[in-house]
Structure 1
Amino acid sequence: MGKIFNVGHKSGWHIRPLLVEYILKVVRIGAVTITLFPRPTRAGLCHVVPLCAVLLSLAFPCTLYAQYSDDFSDGEWQDRWELHTGRFRYDPSLGELLYDAPETNGASLVHASAALDSAVWEIELRYGTTDDGSNFFRFYLASVSSLFTTGEEAFYAQCADVSGRVSLAYQNDGEERVLLMTEPVKSGDDGITSLKIRVERECDGRWSLLCDAGGVHYDGGTAVFPSTFASVASGFRVRMGAESQYLIAVKSVSVEGKARCGGDDEPDGEEDRPDGAGSSPHRHGVVFTEIMADPSPAVALPEVEYVEVYNRSDSVTDLSGYLLFVGDNYGTVQRGMLLPGEYAILCAAADSSAMSAYGKVLPVKNFRALINEGRVTYLADAEGNVVTWFDYSDEWYGRDRFKRDGGWSLERHDVDNLRCDSTLWSPSVDLSGGTPGRPNSVARLQPDTLPAHLLSVGIPADTLIVLLYDKELDASSGPQIEAEGLTVTDVYTEEPKRNSINVVLQEPMDEGEVYTLSVSGVRDVSGLAVADTVVRVAVPSVPEAYDVVINEVMPRPAAGAPKYIELYNRSGKVVDLSDLYLARYDDDGYLSDYYAITSQPSLMFPCQYAVLTPDVSSLRVHHNVCDSALCVQTDVPLAAADGDFALILRNGTVIDALAYSEDWHHPWIDSTEGVALERIDTERFDESGENWRSAASSAGYATPGCPNSHSVTQQDAADGADKLFWLTREAFTPDNDGFEDMLEICYALPRDGYLCSVSVYSPNGERIGMVSERGLLLASGRIVWDGTVDGRLLAVGIYVLLVEAVHPDGDMVSRKLVAVLSAR
């Protein structure tokens, strides 16, 4: 079961890490999962201990080296050890100390020991038991007491139990917590196990467990676990049931290390750090700099998946035991000292030799496959602290489909720019396909100058508001939150991205009520001040057909820019974008390949725009996106020329649909690359091309998140109720410059249901063609004409429009309107 633990509070908010099974040191052996636990409470030192142990612990200063070793052969071992219960005897013929006469409550043999820092414990023994489920042998490494009961704070190694494994554990206040564990140890043909156990602890709290049984090695792994107590004793504790057939024989034991007097695990200076030991990196002290997710077909590198890291700090960093996550799956870095300014290749242990020719390799046990399309990937230390992360995507290859198809890595431009998006990454230009273990081929200075931008506001629960940003935030800068009409009880961000502000409320929000939330004092990961924000929050409603409409599409973007779909909320409802899905139509006209727009709740208010794109950062680089628009990073089902897709609910209800064509573009557009198609009238729901137009050149041929360059304004029907049909202006200039490009024919009819046709004539009465044929009209609205007939733009001149409308009840109305097609 996962357990959430807090990393310290700062300035009114804190970091909420992932579940323990994902972020702490985890050892999986078959169905067994062992996890680390948070820092224990310091136990009191008011225990009954042997006098020699008390004198020893008081006499040694904190950095004094403490050690002992014993093979029990000199006949005076009883003078050095204190027996609590049970009996032990030395057998000179075997050269072993034997456990004799079992006690159901256990037996303990204690030796004074202060060793805990930079310490090594070794024991050699044999054992064999008929296990009744409660038997064990414990080698107590360090303890605050000589009692060796579970109420006393201590570390111990355990074997000869029902699991058949060797484990390293911590105990305190009646709780026992396993830190490391080996696979089951095999016994000899006679049922006797001959075992050597070696436990090491560095001064920074890193533990390791190694065993040898008859020449077979067992690695229990490494873990970091903090301790605050000063040890006074080590020794053995044996528990055997009264009916057990047993053998416990200790051949030798040795302990060496430094005494300590409490405090934290951070060394006070270099003298307290073992030779070669590295420090734990601060966040982004080590960063990802390259990824080869799809190495096939290989160019000139081995066909190996890898990620590259770089130590941008000024300290030696030890990545041993760190966890490399790809999504929810992880592998463990087996060894890894990283010097300042040094690169290292992280790959599967089996691929280490193949990659060693290219630079330093840090092998990863259980290296997880890198997803070609992209996945959030991060590095965490054994205590669960996320060191660095990135959320890579194959969209970062841009339009270079050749390199996207495999064999080419993605490389980071600037190791000191801490953004995590496509603007910082490019496909390698090295002729080998990548630069593992050395500076990147695309390296250049690219300082981060753009502060984090608010992407969306969501309500995943009625007492939780989530503000999502396009960039990691600085967790040490506490935001100031003011919520009108609401009581805030907690504010936190989440690992691994830390790109959200999560606001917890005391009571649920009322449906139908719109609240105001003010956020200020936020800085991003680069230290840039984030703009103070005032946002609206409300409990969302489920949309109905045409509440939200498809308002703009970019099927064929310019080089380097992403595709996008723009939505517009034309209703009076607050809609959650996580309730909406995109779907393609198959060849038979059925919906298929549907997927949620976002898993992150995102509120869309009335008259608000939302832009869906595979790359939000690139979208903002190439287009001016209005600050009020929602930007959602997601795949978009847009073919370059013609295509059709739908906006639906999870139950299949179609909210809006579009079957677009490249033929809808203005005839004067020479190339449609980088030119968006805009919806003209959000109140018109037919899917014909008459309601779509190329975005105006004056608007940069695209208006994502902003009012369309060709949008029309709803007219007040009462103003022209006696006119039936009329023009808002007679002259128009269809040159796609965004100014008076279309002729608007407004209408106000007695009722809806009329079928309308509009024909174009020359001034001398020659019929030229049709603007609209038998279109179904509402009671009021507008018809727009872009100056074309059959896809051909008419020449400059005066034209007569004959508007004819017929109702099923027989009523007929017609009007002649004069228009001037002009040019500048």
Structure 2
Amino acid sequence: MKARILSLFLLLLLSISATAQLTDSFTDGDFTQNPAWSGDATSFQINPQQQLQSNGPAITGTTLQLATPSTAANGVTWEFYANLRLATSGGNLADIWLMADQSSLKTSGTKGYFVRLGGTLDEISLFRQDATGSPVYVINGQDGSLKSTTNNVVRVRVTRSPGNVWVLEHDLTGGQNFTSGGTATDATHQRSAYFGVRLTYSSANSRNFYFDDFRITDTVPPALLSATPTGPRQLDALFSEALDAAPSAASYRLVAGPAVLTAQLDAANPALVHLTLGENLPLGNNTLEARNVTDANGIVAAGPLTAVFVNQGFAVAPAFNQVLITEIMADETPVVGLPASEYVEIHNPTAGTVLDLAGMRLLKPGSTTVAVFPAGAALLPGEYAVVCGSTRASQFAAFGKVFGLTNFPSLSNAGDQLVLRARNGQTLFEITYSDTWYKDLRKKEGGWALEMVDPANPCAGSSNWTASTDDSGGTPARANAVRATNPDHAAPALLRAVALTPTIVRLFFGEKLDSLASTNVGLYALTPAVPVTRAAPQGPDFRTVDLQLTTNLPPNQPLIVAVQRATDCAGNGAGPITAAPFALPVAAQSGDVVINEILFNPRTGGVDFVELLNRSDNYLDVQGWQLGTEQPAGVSASPISAGPYGLAPGQLLVLTTRPDVVQTEYPTHDPAAFLAMASFPSLPDDAATVVVLDAKGQAIDRFHYDEKQHLPLLSDRNGVSLERIRAAEASVGGNFHSAASAVGYATPGRPNSQYQADPTGAKLFQIEPEIFTPDEDGQQDFTTLTYRFDYPGYAASITVYDAQGRLTRRLMRNETFPMSGFLQWDGLTDQGRKAAIGPYVLLIELYRVAGGETHVYKRNVVLGGRL
């Protein structure tokens, strides 16, 4: 009988071996391997008929068990042969566990399904065992099915469909002619770890349980039951049965959405696969496709298997530029139409990301307090919200979403720096605004908000902000009234460089950089060559990058730093190589830097400025320097630069509180020559002495200006600067002249219109130019008499006469001369009127007291003009 059944079984096995998860007919005479059964192994044996037979202690109430690993749970057929050579009862029965979550079938809490043979009702039934409580029927078989007292032969087959429909069948002859024992639907337990048998018997029946032909067959490929988003970049795929232990990410694809990067089987549920995506899931409906998915038994579902799901969004911590400040109300009075309260507006520009703002901080750099967003604060895709002080939130409730924060920063009307930082301290957004961004003098006075023009260009400053055009003065919690396309296509420019230490060089750029791209040391090169080991962009605005060098720089040695493909935070990086000279600065000496131009009487709406010139051959750093005016009680000064600021030989530096205003009135091609000061010394319109102090408080230069130094012919001196004539000469009134009308009456950041190079030659006195035209066109507006002596101690009188010998102007009377210098004649008479066109003679009466020498010289000059 065993041989005939075995041959039939082997024939069937050959046809389905690829789908069988477990097969054991005990023909090898061993149940401890292929497969390995464990438990009460000493209480079982393989008998001569090659069947598994109980052989336990002859003690009433004994319970034995054997179990073998099996993960089969769905779309599976279980089959086995049994012979209970005893009268079944409540104390004599066999439970064959089709699914068990642990190997100990006798332990309370084991979950799964089993077929009971015997029991009080002498039945063949399917039970479910939960973690607690008694077993419950899934299929209640016919009572009295096993009624023999000595020979209860049965072959049982149980099938569970992918839809969790259970079918119980049996053949009481032990053959293959199965009779239905019932059907039922139950989906309670979806996982299995073991298959096994558990026996309970009285003392006389310890050797009366026989089993054979265990077979677990998986004939159904896995089905994709569902796809569930569990995070912004996480998606769970649930299958109908346990899968292969190493799922492939290549088997999964979203119909609309990011790529699947990884696929990981759940540690507790092998039918569950955790998918990690390359980007955030888009909101709305989507479909997951699965192809070539293999279950734990090797059955492949070619697919595509599909599961439709809906992503309603997950709040995630914002990344850089994912939460923006798009509106600022710094000056709330006089009221135009909005509440009389300062506020800023924040915006989520993403199309499908819900932002978790909990713990995000709004602050002003340097402040000791920060405003922190509370737990649960979120911003939906495309949403705007008002951020204000906690006591002002109710004023904005009607406008939309409002976050009222404790320690909301006070917003300066003239300008401020605001930063949004993530919980981990990462800079999310930075803005340094100014009231010049209004571009409207009326709205600048209060009641109007500043609005960002293009949220897609968040890195831009003034060019992407302007005053609101909404009638109420602003658009809190909604799209800005000025919203328009305003892209940034310009690559960032390197403005300047300065060596902070012998091994650290700081680069200054004209706009915010991509903080990640700018860390690439390969973008930077120094000439002469010095290797760069590290590039560190400096927050919160990322307009500067510190380069760490391998070797110390020698002081005052000129170098050039070049930057390739500098990328701004808008992604613009295609541009020519940009470069800047620098050197390790040395200490400045008195006279190294001089006042080169000064505007002390600006036009209405204008501002004062002072232009400095580094006339030395040294590289200097003006950090800690001050600009001030001498007062009876001492010098009243303002800091020039709190941070490092390099000044190269020949470099101009324009100091003012409002570079934008100065550049508007006096256009320049070099905005980098301007340095904005937080405050500026008061420059009276009539006269004052301006002084430049170094970081130690020592005077580097001083100049006493006087409105009388202006050309007397000027009808209006407002907005006209005094320009230095010669760089190398002293900072005295005679070395300054009114800027020419042809250049707009001032040249901040540009060469002076009245600049003269020092004349060369061996003559004692030299006239330059010999023909001049004092018409304020910037071309030969005055003439200069340059002198150079071999010995000190000379004095002179210099007088101008016309062609008829009449006195026109006394330039100097009995005054002592230094060994070299110059004086100017602007073409005016002693009465302050313009002299007539024609030739003139400068009579020079020179005498030297020490030697008693007296000399008389004449120099001819022509005063020209338009006829």
TM range (shorter): 0.5 to 0.7
Corresponding residue SS for 1:578: coil
Residue type at the aligned position of 1:516: I
* TM-score w.r.t. length of structure 2: 0.59
Query: How big is the shift at 1:736?
Result: 1.7
1:393 is displaced (CA, Å) by 2.9
Query: Do the aligned partners of 1:456 and 1:631 also contact (CA within 8 Å) in 2?
Result: no
What amino acid sits opposite 2:862 in the alignment?
A: V
Instruction: Tell me which residue corresponds to 1:648.
Output: 693
Question: Which among 368, 375, 382 is matched to residue 416 of structure 2?
Answer: 375
Aligned ranges 1:274-285 → 2 under 5 Å: 275-285=312-322
Deviation at 1:430, TM superposition (A): 5.3
Given the alignment of the two structures, is residue 326 of structure 1 paired with residue 370 of structure 2, yes or no?
Answer: no
Deviation at 1:418, TM superposition (A): 4.0
Among 782, 789, 793, the residue aligned to 1:749: 789
Do residues 822 (structure 1) and 859 (structure 2) align? no
What SS is found at the alignment partner of 1:411? strand
Once the 2 structures are TM-superposed, how far is the Cα of residue 450 of structure 1 from its aligned partner? Answer: 5.0
SS state at 1:350 partner: helix
Flag the 1:418–1:268 CA change in 2: closer, same or farther, 3 A. closer
Q: Distance in 2 between matches of 1:444 and 1:797?
A: 62
Distance, in Å, in 1 between the alignment partners of 2:599 and 2:796 is 31
Tell me if structure 2 keeps the 8 A contact 1:348–1:367.
yes
Preserved contact between residue 593 and residue 614 of structure 2 (Cα < 8 Å): yes
User: Amino acid of the residue matched to residue 741 of structure 1?
Assistant: D
Distance 1:668 1:367, change over 3 A: same
Give the Cα–Cα distance (whole angstroms) in 2 for the partners of residues 449 and 662 of structure 1.
46
Residues 692 and 357 of structure 1, relative CA distance in 2, 3 Å threshold: farther
Q: Does 1:392 align with 2:433?
A: yes
Counterpart in 2 of 1:764?
A: 804
Q: How does 1:170-319 map to 2 (within 5 A)?
A: 203=231, 275-318=312-355
Of 476, 480, 484, which residue of structure 1 is paired with 2:523? 480
Deviation at 1:353, TM superposition (A): 0.7
Q: Which residue of 1 aligns with 2:148?
A: none
Instruction: Name which of 480, 495, 499 aligns with 1:455.
Output: 495
Residue in 2 aligned with 1:496? 540
Instruction: State the superposition RMSD in angstroms.
Output: 4.1
Whole-Å separation in 2 of the counterparts to 1:460 and 1:268: 46
Q: Distance in 2 between matches of 1:581 and 1:651?
A: 10
Offset of residue 310 of structure 1: 3.4
In the aligned structure 1, how far is the partner of 2:668 from the partner of 2:840?
Answer: 38
Q: Distance in 1 between matches of 2:805 and 2:391?
A: 83
Deviation of 1:319 after TM superposition, in Å, equals 5.1
Give the aligned partner of residue 116 of structure 1.
Answer: none
CA distance in 2, matches of 1:314, 1:548: 54
For structure 1, which segment, 462-471 or 452-461, has the greater mean C-alpha deviation from structure 2 after superposition? Answer: 452-461
Matched, 1:574 2:619: yes
Question: Partner of 2:555 in structure 1?
Answer: 511
Q: Residue 652 of structure 1 aligns to a residue in which SS? A: coil
For residue 301 of structure 1, report the CA deviation from its aligned partner: 2.9
1:785 aligns with 2:825: yes
1:549 equivalent to 2:587? Answer no
Is 1:352 paired with 2:393? yes
Alignment match, 2:48: none
CA contact (8 A) 1:291 1:308 kept: yes
Question: Relative to structure 1, is the Cα distance of residues 806 and 347 closer, same or farther in structure 2, using a 3 angstrom cutoff?
Answer: farther
Verify: 1:632 aligned to 2:675, yes or no. Answer: yes
Give ranges in structure 2 of 5+ residues lacking alignment.
1-68, 75-107, 111-228, 235-262, 287-308
- C-alpha contact (below 8 Å) 2:494/2:508 kept by paired residues: yes
Inter-partner Cα distance in structure 2 for 1:795 and 1:360: 76
Q: Distance in 2 between matches of 1:592 and 1:315?
A: 56
Aligned to 2:511: 471
Residue 691 of structure 2 aligns to which amino acid in structure 1? Answer: A
Aligned position for 1:594: 638
User: 1:451–1:528: 8 Å Cα contact kept in structure 2?
Assistant: yes
Match of 2:406 in 1: 365
In the alignment, is the contact (CA less than 8 A) between 2:282 and 2:311 conserved in 1?
no
**What's the counterpart of residue 255 of structure 2?**
none
Q: Distance in 2 between matches of 1:788 and 1:681?
A: 21
Which stretch shows the higher mean deviation, 282-291 or 808-817? 808-817
Task: State the alpha-carbon separation in 2 of the partners of residues 424 and 556 from structure 1.
Answer: 32
Deviations 1:766-791 (A, max 9, x none): 33333356666432232222223465
C-alpha deviation, 1:277, in angstroms: 3.2
Determine if contact 2:496/2:580 at 8 Å carries over to the other structure.
Answer: no
Q: Does structure 2 retain, via aligned residues, the 8 Å contact 1:646–1:654?
A: yes
Question: CA offset at residue 679 of structure 1?
Answer: 1.1
Given candidates 775, 791, 797, the residue that maps to 2:838 is 797
AA at the equivalent of 1:309: I
**SS of 1:549 mapped into structure 2:** strand
**Structure-2 separation of matches of 1:714 and 1:59:** 100
| Cα-to-partner distance string for 1:34-69 (whole Å, 9 max, x where unaligned) | xxxxxxxxxxxxxxxxxxxxx9x9999xxxxxxxxx
CA distance in 2, matches of 1:403, 1:567: 34
Three-state SS of the structure 1 residue aligned to 2:843 is: strand
- What code does the residue aligned with 1:368 have? P
Q: Deviations over 1:738-789 (max 9, x none)?
A: 2122202111112345455533333333333333566664322322222234
For the 8 Å contact 1:524–1:530, the answer to whether it is kept is no
Q: 1:382 to 1:775 in 2, by over 3 A?
A: farther
User: In the TM superposition, what is the alpha-carbon distance from 1:551 to its structure 2 partner?
Assistant: 0.7
Q: With CA pairs under 8 Å and 6+ residues apart, which has the higher RCO, 1 or 2?
A: 1
Distance 2:282 2:326 in 1: 31
1:651 partner SS = coil
- Rounded to whole Å, the distance in 2 between the matches of 1:485 and 1:649 is 32
Higher gyration radius (CA): 2
User: Equivalents in 1 of 2:538, 2:740: separation in Å?
Assistant: 42
1:774–1:539 CA distance, 2 compared to 1 (3 A)? farther
**Distance across 2 between alignment mates of 1:777 and 1:536:** 40
Partner residue, 2:767: 727
| Mean Cα deviation higher: 381-390 or 803-812 | 803-812
CA contact (8 A) 2:562 2:579 kept: yes
Q: Verify the 8 A CA contact 2:454 2:487 in the aligned structure 1.
A: yes
Amino acid at match of 2:857: R
Give SS of 1:573's match: coil
Q: Which moved more, 1:313-322 or 1:481-490?
A: 313-322
- Which one-letter code corresponds to 1:599 in the other structure? A
| One-letter amino acid of the counterpart of residue 376, structure 1 | Q
Unaligned runs of 5+ in 1: 1-54, 61-77, 81-200, 207-227, 234-257
**Matches of residues 599-610 of structure 1 in structure 2 within 5 Å?**
599-610=642-653
**Does the 8 Å contact 2:338/2:474 carry over to 1?**
yes
Distance (Å, rounded) in 2 between the aligned partners of 1:428 and 1:672: 37
Identity %: 30
Query: Alignment partner of 2:507: what SS?
Result: strand
Aligned amino acid, residue 763 of structure 1: A
Give, in angstroms, the shift of residue 341 of structure 1: 4.5
Q: Which residue of 2 aligns with 1:533?
A: 578
Are residues 1:695 and 2:739 paired? yes
Q: Supply the distance in 2 between the matched residues of 1:59 and 1:737 (Cα, whole angstroms).
A: 98
1:522 corresponds in structure 2 to 566
Which moves more between the two structures, 376-385 or 808-817? Answer: 808-817
Paired AA for residue 817 in structure 1: R
Where does residue 705 of structure 1 map in the other structure? Answer: 749
Deviations 1:547-605 (A, max 9, x none): 1011123445678876533211111211112142222333x26212431x223322212
Is the CA contact (8 Å cut-off) linking 2:600 and 2:685 kept in structure 1? yes
Partner of 1:153: none
Name the CA distance, whole Å, in 2 between partners of 1:340 and 1:262: 24
Alignment partner, residue 37 of structure 1:
none
Question: In terms of mean alpha carbon deviation, does 373-382 or 610-619 score higher?
Answer: 610-619
* Among 628, 639, 654, the residue aligned to 1:583: 628
Distance 2:272 2:637 in 1: 64
